[in-house]
Structure formats: C-alpha cells, structure tokens
Structure 1
Amino acid sequence: MTKTVHPLPPALDRPDGQAFRDAMAQVVSAVHVITTEGPAGRLGLTATAVASVSDTPPTVLACVARTSRTLAAIEASGAFCINTLPAQLAELAEIFASRRGIDGEERFMTARWGRLATGAPVLLDAVSAFDCRLIAAHDVASHRILIGEVVGLGGEGRGAGLIYRQRRFGSV
C-alpha cells in the first residue's frame, strides 16, 4: 500500500482580533445570562462562551471578561447561575449585554426571577438554569474561565432556545 503525503500549506500570519471576531461570528452559540448576588445586589451579564465540562459531578464552565463587575461579584460570593435564554427573551439578552442603558437592579425588573440552592438569581422562564458553586477560575488572555459545580437545576426545558450568529439573535 502506498501512502500519499500532502505538503503543508505555507504558514499563515496569526489572525488579528477583528479577523478572529469575524470568524467567531459564524459560529452558532446559545445565549445565556450569568447572574450572581453581591454586596451591591444582583448582577448579571449576557454570555455565549458556556459549556458542559462533566456530568460526574455535574460541572460547567463560563468565560467572563476579567474587567466585569459581575465577575468580581461571582468570585466574592462563590456562586453563579447560568440561565439559558428562550427565543422570546432576546430583549433580556440585550439588556444584560448593556445595550439598553439599563443597569444594576433595574435589569432584574424586566423578567421573572427566583433562587435555587446558592441564592444566585435564577430566571424562572429559562430554557435551563445551572445554579453553580464556583470551584476554580483560570485566567486566559482577556477572560477568566469559571468552573462551576452544578448544585441546582431550573428552567422550563421547553420551547425554542435563543441563539447568536452573525451578530444577530435567532432561535432554534
């Protein structure tokens, strides 16, 4: 048997940040609001960089900008909740992405919230919600990867989920 060897293409320059963001805009991502409770009250942010790590024990990760006030509150409290948004709550994603001029506790007045095991705010209308105890954090570039052990589950588990692709919200 003869093995064909294909030459490697010439080395490409490392992509710049804009080229990387443009390429990532083609990737379909579920949309989440990550919440916590801090000394100043409830805080949250919109995120797409969320993933399952393990089911034994149930563990997830979320990537958050190191400059985020929500990150500081998560680390201080040791708890956070990842709320996966349903398609009809695209406006909530905009609010928690700081695109509507609504800040702090006012953000939480635009939806129905409750609490699970950790006390972090859980979106009652979430497709799914993962209430987490922070077990590790790792700095990588401009973000911190938060690892959370899931200690509670919420959400309705039905209906279309909110996605983000090509810098627009959609549903699946």
Structure 2
Amino acid sequence: MIAANDFRNAMSLLTSAVNVVTTSGASGDQGLTVSAVCSVSDSPASLLVCINQSSRSHDDFLVNKVLSVNVLASQHETLSNAFASSKFNAEQRFQLGEWTRLQTGSPILKDALVSFDCEIEHIQTMGTHSILICRVVAIHQGQTNAVDQSQEGLVYFNRAYHQIGQVEVI
C-alpha cells in the first residue's frame, strides 16, 4: 500500500493548471481553487472535475448541479490563494475579480484564459474526493489587455506557482 504522504509528494511533481471552480444556487455564489480538471471528450464537450469532500463548498456543487471552470492566468495568483483559503468568505473571494454569467448562472471570471460553463451530469465518489463529469454548455474566452497582447497560464508544480507559455491574440 502506498502511504498518503508519499503519494502527495509524488503528485506535487505533476504540473497542473490552476482553476477557480464556481457554482451558484440557493446558497449564493461559491467557489474554490482546483487543480484536478481535465477534458473527457469533445463530443459531447465534457470535463472531469475532482473536489475534496471536506471542502467548504463541496455540497453546494452537488446540490446546484452546475459549475464553471475558470482557467487562471499568471496575474491570478492572489485570486487562487483567496479561493483556496479558509480566511476569506465567499463574498470577499468574489470581490477580487470581475465576474459575469453564462447559461448556468455560475460565476465566470471575465479575464480568465478561458471559462467552461457546465452542467454536472455524473457524480462518482472515490476516497476523499467527488469526481464530477460535466457537460460543457458554454465557453467564454477571456479578453487580453489592449497593451499586453499575450497572457501566461498559471500552473502549480512542486508546491509553488509558475507561469507558462503565452497565448497570442490573432
């Protein structure tokens, strides 16, 4: 059997995109920082999102059955930390960015590299996490600043943030 600490140390060497995943419903706007996101299929367009069951907003996602995945750019490190921290409430977190909404009503970060607006179709429990299979119903590409025509993505590697690549505006 692999010890949990050994597994966490090994996984810290797997580079992951940093995302703020949000939902909206009866409990208001909720969100958290998530690195466990990947594509499932392009037909139908779908994503897999893993959320720790001990997360403060875990149950809100399951009840609302909608979410948005906001892929963060390098300038969003402070936003990522706020959505990962228990020191901020939901209202304080959402004050750190400009938000809009698409089809599901989940908050979409206006200047995210890209945001996927989704309906949760399947939920599977595995260990400490819920695995959400989500159908993408809308996509929002963030707008780059007129002065800075490129953005770098925010990734997490070896327990630290890093910037990667550039997205060129055509």
TM-score scaled by length of structure 1 = 0.88
Give the counterpart of 1:166 among 130, 138, 158: 158
Listed one character per residue, the Cα deviations across residues 25-48 of structure 1 (whole Å, up to 9, x for unaligned) are: 111100000000132211000000
* Alpha-carbon separation, structure 1, partners of 2:27 and 2:159: 31
Partner of 1:154: 140
- Mapped pair 1:79 → 2:83: no
Greater C-alpha radius of gyration: 1
Which runs of 5 or more residues in structure 2 are unaligned?
144-149, 165-170
The match for 1:50 is 37
Correspondence for 2:147: none
Q: Which residue of 2 aligns with 1:90?
A: 77
What does residue 109 of structure 1 align with? Answer: 95
Look up the SS of the partner of 2:104 in the other structure: coil
Regions of 4+ moved over 4 Å: none
- Contact (CA 8 Å) 1:35, 1:70: kept in 2 or not? no
Map 1:106-145; keep pairs closer than 5 Å: 106-145=92-131
Q: Give the structure 2 partner of residue 17 of structure 1.
A: 4
CA RMSD of aligned residues (A): 1.2
The alpha-carbon deviation at position 69 of structure 1 amounts to 3.3
Deviation of 1:72 (Å):
1.1
Contact in 2 for aligned 1:116/1:122 (Cα 8 Å): yes
Mapped partners of 2:57, 2:133: distance in 1? 15
Size of the aligned set, in residue pairs, is 158
Aligned residue runs from structure 1 range 18-33, under 5 A: 18-33=5-20
Is the 8 Å Cα contact of residues 82 and 129 (structure 1) preserved in structure 2? yes
Q: Shift in Å at residue 164 of structure 1?
A: 0.1
Taking the aligned partners of 2:92 and 2:141, their CA distance within structure 1 comes to 22
SS at match of 1:22: helix
Give the fraction of aligned pairs with identical amino acids, expressed as a percent.
Answer: 37
Q: 1:155 and 1:83 mapped to 2: Cα distance?
A: 10
Q: Which of 64-73 and 139-148 deviates more?
A: 64-73
Alpha-carbon offset, residue 23 of structure 1: 0.5
Unaligned runs of 5+ in 1: 1-13
* Distance apart, 1:77 and its partner CA: 1.3
Match of 1:11 in 2: none
